Structures are given as C-alpha cells and as structure tokens.
Amino acid sequence: MTFSPSTRSRRDLAELTPPALRATFALAEIHFPRDVEGQRHVDPRDAYFFLSGHLEVWSKWRNGLPASEATAIDTLLRFRPRRLATESGFRISVDSALRHGRLIRYERTDNDSLLRVMSGIPADQVLAEALEELEQAAQQRQWLPPVAPGPKTYISSVYLGASSGRQEFRTGTFLVPDVPVGIEPIHLSPSPERSALTLDFDTLRIAAKEIDAAGTHGFSLYDVLDGFAAGLRTSSHSAASSLDLRAGPLNLLVAPTGSGKSIFMRVAASSLAREGNSVLLVTPGVEDTLALAEQIEGDLRAVGSEAEVVALMSPRRLIEVAEQRANDATEVSGDPRRTWDRLGYSCLLPVIDGPPWEPGQEPCTNLRVPDEEQRYRCPLISVCEKWRPWRRAAESAKVIVTNHAYFQSGSVPVPVTLNGRPRPRITVQEFLLQRADVVMIDEIDAFQAQAVENSGRTLVLARRDSEDLLLGKLDRQRREQVFAGTVPAELELDFQRIMKRLDYIPERYLAAVVHKFIDPADPIRSRHRPRLHIPRRWDNLLACRLCGLDERTERPTDAQLDSFESLFHQREPKMPLPEGWGVLREELRAAVSMQPSGDQLADRRDAIRNHLVQLEVQEVEQTAELMLRRVFLGEIHRDLASLEQRLPLMRDAGMRLADEVEATLDRGSSWQATPEGPIGRTVFGFATTGDPDRTDDRTLTTEIISGDPHVYTAELGRTTAAALTGAPRIVLALSATAYLPESPTLHVHAPVRWYYPDHTDHGTGKVTIRSSAVTGLGGTGIVFSGAPKHRKPELMNQLGFFLWQQTLEDHLDRLHNHADTQRRSRARVLLVVNSYNQGVQLARGLIRAGAARSRVCLAVPAASEGRRDQLELPSDVHVLPANRLKDFPNTGADVLISPFARVARGLNIVVENKSALDSIWVCVRPIKLIDRPAALVAHTGAKALLGRDASDQPAAELAERHELSASHLELINRANPAFSRLPRIVRVAVFADVFGDLNQLIGRARRGGTDTTLYLVDNAFNPDGSAPGSSFHALFTHLYHSWERLGEIDTVRQIYGTTLDAFVRFALPTTRNR
C-alpha cells in the first residue's frame, strides 16, 4: 500500500515553532528593548504579545509603524503555529527551545522575567531570516493531490446522509475519462492594495435614478437612497455628503431598520461594480445572499452593465438549497428556475458501482486507486458546473455575495492557485478578502453574534438516554472504513483504541455522578456548584493538602506539583513518590481502568478516603471526590487531545465526520488571528446537565471556549485581512444595533463613524411600547417564562385564548375599520414566541377563543430543517415556511405567529415598500441562556474590552484584559444559574442583548417610516410577574443608568432617539426625556 504525503509523520514536516520564536523575540527586541546595566535584554511577555494576535491593544498598531515593520508582523501572524498563541503553549515552547539550544541568541538571567541578548547580529537581520524560514516551512506543508490520470476507475467513500434515509459511508467506483489537463482548477486574482475609497452620495443618487428608469422593482430606489443620504450624520453630528472609507479600522455605520441601509448597499454595490471595483457583500443568511445577488444582477442588467454577480455558499449545500427554494416557492417568491440556473449542477464522473450520485458528496479531491492510500483530484474540476461560481468569484466577478457563516467558517476544498503557488485548500475569508476592493457587511452585530456562536462549542460525550452521539457515529464510520479497506493497517488499532476509550471513560464518569459516587462540594464553599468543571482547576489546593501545606497561605513547589500530577498519569512515575502515595495512585488508576475492581467505584472512593486519613489529609471526603473527578476528567481530556491529533488521519481514511468533530473541538482548518480568546487560552471544561433526581436525564458534555469574536469583528480589516492578504482591506459595517454598550453579543467595539438618527422628523416612524399582559383563570397575569416545563403547553394555549378574548380580537376589528386607509391596509399583527411548538399551542388557544382559522398563519420550519412533520398543526390554518414569511400579506390572514429568531432581523414583510404589519406582540419573554459556551464567550470577551484603550505597553494591557475576562468567567461560573439570582452586572448585560433584539424586532413594523406598537404579553415582563430586580422595568433602569455612568447616554440617545424614548416612557415614566 502506498501513502500520500498527508499521512506523513509530523516529524517529517518542516517545523514552524523555531523560526516563529526567533521572529517574535526579534520583534520584541526592536519595539520593546530592555536595558539592564548596559546590556540588552528582552521580556518574553513582549514576544508573546505579537504571537497572541491581539495587536489592537498596542497604541502604535498599525498606523504608528513603518509599512515594512507592519508587514513583518503580518507575516509572523499568518504562519504562526496556533499553540504559540496561548500563554501556556508559548511558555512551554520557549522553555524547551532554551533547554535544547534552539534560541541560542538568548540566555536566562537572575531576573526570571527577562532574557539576556547574547548575539551581536542585528535584530532586524534575525527577523528577516526567521520570517523567510517560517514562510518556507509553511509552504512545505502544503500538499496538492495529483490529477487522476484516465481512462481509469477509482474508488471513493460516499457519505449517505439523512436525506437518503441513512447515515453511513459506502464505497463508490467512478470512471475518470482521459482528458487534457491544462490549467489549475481555480486561479485567484488578488485585488491591489487600496488605502481609501469615497462613496459620493450624488454619484449614488445618479446611479439610483438610472436603475429606477430602467428597472421593474416597483418602487423608487432614488427616493429611499435620497432620504437615507439626507439623514446620515458623521460622528461629530454634521451632515454627511459622502462616506470616506479607510482601509484597516472598521468603518461602522449605525442606522435604524427601515432607514434605507439595504437600498444603500444595493445601489453602492452596483455603482462600484460599474466603475470596475470588486465588491464583497456579506449578508446574514443564505436566503439574503441569493435575494441580494438577484437584485443587484437585475439592476446591472437593467442599465446595460455586463459586470458579473455571483453568490457563494457552502458547496455541500447547493442542491439542498435549490430544492428547498423550489419546494417552499410561492406565487410571489419568484421562479425557482432562476435558483436552479444559479445553483444546479450534476457530477460529471460516471458511477460504475456503488450508491448513486449524492449531491454535496462528490469525490473532487478524494479519488483513490484500490489498495493504495494515495489521493487524487478529479481532472474535471476546471469545467465542472459545481465550481463555476468559485471560478467566477476568483477571477471575473465584480460583485460577490455570501453569508456570515460561510465567510467565517467555510473553506474552498479544491485547489486554488494564488500568487503563482497552488494551495490544496483555502479558507473562504482569505479567498474573498484577496478579491475585494471593498467589503460591506450587513448586520455587523449579527456577524459578531455568529462569531460568538463559533467560539463556544459543545460536544456530548455521554448521555443516559438512547440518543446517538457524534462520537458514536464517527466510530461507526471507522468500522465501515475498516471494512472498506481504506484505513492503513498501522493506524487501525490506534483509531480503535482512542474511540473505545472515549466511549468507555465518559459513560463511566456519568454513571459515577448519577449514582452520587462523585459529587464534590466547591472547595471555596460557594453555595452553588460551578457548572463547568476544569480538570486541573484544584491541583494546587489538592497538592497542598497531600503535602501538609496550609492551603490558604502556602503554595506547593514545582517538585511537589510534579509528584502530585504523576498520581493521575497513565505512565509510571519517573521519580519515587512520597511515602503512602503509591497505593493512592493505584486506587485512582483502578477507577479508570477496565479491570473488574474498577467497577466498584464506591469501594475505590472509600479506599481513597482511608489512604487520605492515613496521610493525615484535611477535608478527607471532599478531597477524595475531587481526586476521583480529577482522574476521570483528566483521562477524558487527554483522550480528546489524542483524538484531535488523529482526526486529520481519520479524514484521509474516509471518515468525513472527522471534520465535524474537529470543528466542534475548535481545531478546524480556519485560521484566526486571535484563536485562544479573551483569557489567553482555550477553556476546556466539562458539564453534567439534566435533572439530578432522574437517572435517565443526565448528560456529560465537554464545552470549549476559545477565540475572540469581538476583536475578530472589530479588527477584520486591519489585522485579519492584512495577515491573510498582505494589506489591510476596506470594511464598511452596517446595522441598527451595532452600537449598544453593555451588550456582550451585539455591541461592536469600534467607533461609530456615521449614524442615522432615529427620530420621527427623519421619517423613521413613531414607536410605542405597552404592556398587554392577559388575565388567566386565577385572576392574575399569565406568566409563561420561568414556568415549569410540563405546564408550558397548557399555559401557552391559555395565553392565546385569553389574548384573543381580552385584547386581540377588538384590536384587529378597530384596525380593519380604521378611518385612516393606510392603517386599514396594515391591519395585520405579528405574535412572537420562542419556538415552533409554542406557536402551535398559541394558535390553538386563539382558535379555541373564536378566531377564524383563515385569519391565522403559522410559521413552520423550512424544508431543509426537516422538522415540520413533528408539529401537530391545527387544520385549515395558513402555514408559511420560515424562509418565506415575507409572503404573509398574500395569505389573506391577519395574524402571523413566528418564533423570535426567525423574525427578529432581516425580514421585510412589506406592501409597496411599507411595512404590512401594524403591531408586534411579544408573547414570551426572550430566552438568553447564560450558561451556554457561546454566552460565556460573549460575556467574558466583552468584559475585557469595556472601557479599555490601547496602550504603549501592550503586554501589560493584554495581561490585564486576560485577568478581567478570567475573573468574570469565574463570577458567572459560580453564580446561581437562575436568572433572578445572577449578579446584577450579568443580568444587565443579558438584558442589553434582549434590548437589542427587541429593537431589531420593532424594525419589522417600521419599514417605510410606519408607526408601530410593541405589546409585551408575557406577564414575566412586569414587576408582579418576575422576581425582584428582574422585571423589564428594573433591568432597563439599570441599563439606562449604566449608560449614564459610562458617559455613553448622549450617543445612545442620538442614535436610538425615538425607540429609546418609547422604552423610557414605558419603563422609566418619571425620567424626563432629554
């Protein structure tokens, strides 16, 4: 059997760490020289700063540096090994390099914080040589599968997904024809460096008039654009006649929903494309991407321009999206043939044997000859219709539209030639940033929220019910690939061992927790157990106890810690253990072994307690349980790390779920400038969730917190783009709620350069907020949020019943008979819930109260979500797929019921460019779970940035931010998870996110400057329906005063004027509007 270079030992690959360390220390010498008694020194903390990727904390970055020095930092960041971005990984690598003579330029001193510079070679020369070696080493790691010669048959693993009713791998046999191979499949043409660009409003007005004169879009682009341009203000509150866009720092524009942002982007993209610029537009979702691409393409064709427009999304989903749009199409949603023309394709390789063509699973770079491990790529990629959009985007397209998720996490999985060098795989963000003269990101706060989601990940390791686990599916694929003969013999047992251990140890630990063999109290005696358990969290405390030290005043030595850690290692200790520790180690190892003695965990725990008593250890019971937890979670952590190393080899052997596991463990292929997040390292914790009183309702997960989505978003054009492309890029970011201090998810940490005031005299429409709590059977307001889970279906049914009887029927009657014809034309309401099932129960309550079924329209999952058949829909009500809610006015119904997440942003339900909705009724208090990994990322990352400025001592500033984040994580992790019991600072931050979401929701009924009212139906919004300090009124009061304390209230009022006034009138009636 032969092997491809992708299966080479890591030892055969050129090393990145030595040249990266030499380069970063040289940078520290150049920019932060230290002089001690006339001798040159360097502080490793300064060197780590460059590798961390957090260049934004340095006041000289980027404009304060010569271009050549900034470029050197870009190069280091681009090729830096990820482990050097962590404080621990950097420290261990430096220690190893000093011990083994790989950093001979430096030597240790009596001052542990500094290294002495021993060489007289200039630092800039060292830097240049190290960067050249680093770049060469990185290039040597790129391996391009050769073109499969034909005519010849090849095999490949084909994944049969849920759409075909199965989830398994099968081997397919394909015939590769004899075709000439002339060019690389995709040739990427980078755009030149550009430092600035001006969008002149008069020029855009002319463009809008031309499109209006030639187009058939049904309303005046010019009128909308003119109103938007006239109302826009600079940060100094003066009128803006143009947008002077700069490369690097984020160009942030905040404007309320309905002010004309979308039309501005549409016209600007067309105008720039006609001038020869390459424009990248990044929208929230796939549907937005396709709709905007179709609009701009139509505008360009209407004015006779041949500029190409292309829409990009995950290549695995092209046919799925086309089918979904066709299945969900309505009379007004457009001809599905246009979608098929844009997305449709078929595989050109004839299938000789095996399963038929599975869309999205083509073997483009995964062809093999039987009994060989060598991989080949298909010679037809250069003419394949599947890759046509990427070929056009790489070379000829002037407008490229994609979505947030694909831009951030996607890849182009076929070879791309860039700057004369073939790349086997390239991230989407590098691919698109290379092509763009200007990037426009719609809903930049949602873009940041997507990055937050990507940074907090959960992998289920064990559960007490019978639901399948991702790791279990991967293990089935392993067995299938062993049967298919694609797993190399020398790796087969290696794969088997790690998968079996990750099945056995987590399930064993979960059983120990369920049966209360492991249930340790918190060593710091908090009243609440932490949700996340970190394997080595209490090593110092436990070592103190075992070594007889005072845990409050003393710390163990390195030797004592080494001895303590050896208790948990699989390998035998190198040094003799202290007296009595050997038997302790045997008991701990037995607990995680496959020996029958390990099955009696109660006996193992009792034996550990007895040995601790003999060692005269304090807090024996607590210490025993902490040590048991430590050995289990340490084993699982090591096994997951071992799995991470093997996942690329598993993928090469045909196990495609390895990609999903790798992404979940945050070790995917996507490069990040700041991969290790706001506390300087990845937090790898474990959580046991479920009902403690039910043995069948417990789940063990590992939760990963990494990455810094706030810095990534704010520094996209300045740090990420420059590292990936060699130069900063122009990034224009737009949203209605991107400026929202205290919001951990939505507030973008960049200065607002332009804003559109939310004032009725600017045509944004009046906003009113009212309580519309309904009285239930007991004569009190119905409180849905926070109610017991088993009562919620009936409560939602009651809420619908009494809402119709007490309020909604009369409200709609008044609208239908209103004297104002405009109000009559908008006699429709939107009822918002948190899930599709809640929507069904609400609809049943409305119908039970007497609402005609023909008046009710239910949002249901889109076809691709595959959950529609699980809903027990009432008969004869209208239903609309969630991606087609804009068609609601054409149903004839006047009540639309939808989950919050599907209508909060990006949805335009309009008639003649004005909102078709009169009012919005929030029937359930929005959910914001604080204990999700993504929420922890958002809160800890935002805490590190709030009120902080760049410094001329970036290493110290970075350390301070890490400490702030770590302390905030500790605060959240140890708090009572009930919302009302969270610390006030956390509750206010959660509410700030809710405030932003409600602001976005209000915008659904303000299109075209219409007035609207937001009704709060769930009595949980009100003081008499919530715990003290947790009502809408109390939380808004705290948030408002926080803005005052931060000195942000004037800017908040300028931007959110009308909407903010509505919240103030509702929640702070005694506060005078200023």
| pLDDT tens, position by position, 579-616 | 989 999 999 999 988 888 777 888 888 999 999 999 99
Environment class of residue 813 by beta-carbon count within 10 Å: exposed (0-12), middle (13-18) or buried (19+)? exposed
Tens digits of residue pLDDT in 861-910: 886 665 677 788 999 999 999 888 999 999 999 999 999 989 988 788 88
pLDDT of residue 12: 54
d(C-alpha 191, C-alpha 724), whole Å? 13
**Residue 529 binned pLDDT confidence (cut-offs 50, 70, 90):** low
**Both structure tokens of 224:** 């909308």
Could you tell me the pTM of the whole model? Answer: 0.89
Q: Nearest 5 degrees, angle CA 751-CA 753-CA 754?
A: 135
Does 277 have pLDDT greater than 90? yes
Q: What is the mean pLDDT of residues 766-774?
A: 95
d(C-alpha 1003, C-alpha 768), whole Å? 12
**Lowest-pLDDT range, 197-206, 433-442, 528-537?**
528-537
pLDDT of residue 161: 61
Does 189 have pLDDT greater than 50? yes
User: What integer best gives the mean pLDDT of the chain?
Assistant: 89
Does 574 have pLDDT greater than 70? yes
Q: Are strands 730-735 and 251-254 parallel, antiparallel or unpaired?
A: parallel
Q: Are strands 730-735 and 438-442 parallel, antiparallel or unpaired?
A: parallel
Sign of CA dihedral 421, 425, 430, 434: positive
- In three-state form (DSSP H/G/I as H, E/B as E, the rest C), the secondary structure along 886-939 is HHHHHHCCCEEEEEHHHHCCCCCCEECCEECCCEEEECCCCCCCCCCHHHHHHH
Q: Are strands 115-117 and 106-108 parallel, antiparallel or unpaired?
A: antiparallel
In which region does residue 276 sit, left (phi positive, over 0), alpha (psi from -120 to 50) or beta (all else)? left
Which H or E run contains 326? helix 318-327
Contact status, residue 802 vs residue 778, Cβ threshold 8 Å: no
Edge-first strand listing for the sheet containing 895-899: 767-771, 1012-1016, 919-922, 829-833, 895-899, 856-860, 878-881
**Lowest-pLDDT range, 30-34, 535-539, 993-997?**
535-539
**Both structure tokens of 509:** 């630990």
DSSP 619: S
Q: pLDDT exceeding 70 applies to what percent of the chain?
A: 94
* Higher-pLDDT residue of 955, 696: 955
pLDDT of residue 683: 80
Phi, psi of 598 (to 5 degrees): -75, -15
d(C-alpha 397, C-alpha 279), whole Å? 9
Contact status, residue 262 vs residue 269, Cβ threshold 8 Å: no
Q: pLDDT exceeding 90 applies to what percent of the chain?
A: 62
Q: DSSP readout, 191-232?
A: PPP-SEEEEEHHHHHHHHHHHHHH--SSS-HHHHHHHHHHH-
Q: Within a 13 Å sphere around the CA of 838, how many CA atoms are in the beta-carbon half?
A: 24
Contact status, residue 1054 vs residue 238, Cβ threshold 8 Å: no
Residue that the structure tokens 């417990």 belong to: 698
- Give strand pairing partners of 311: 401
Q: Which of 168-182, 756-770, 842-856, 872-886 has the largest mean confidence?
A: 842-856
Tens digits of residue pLDDT in 128-155: 999 999 999 999 888 888 999 989 999 9
Contact status, residue 76 vs residue 23, Cβ threshold 8 Å: yes
pLDDT of residue 463: 92
d(C-alpha 528, C-alpha 716), whole Å? 39
**Closest by alpha carbon to 454, among 784, 677, 302?**
677
Does 292 have pLDDT greater than 70? yes
pLDDT of residue 228: 95
**Both structure tokens of 839:** 């929507």
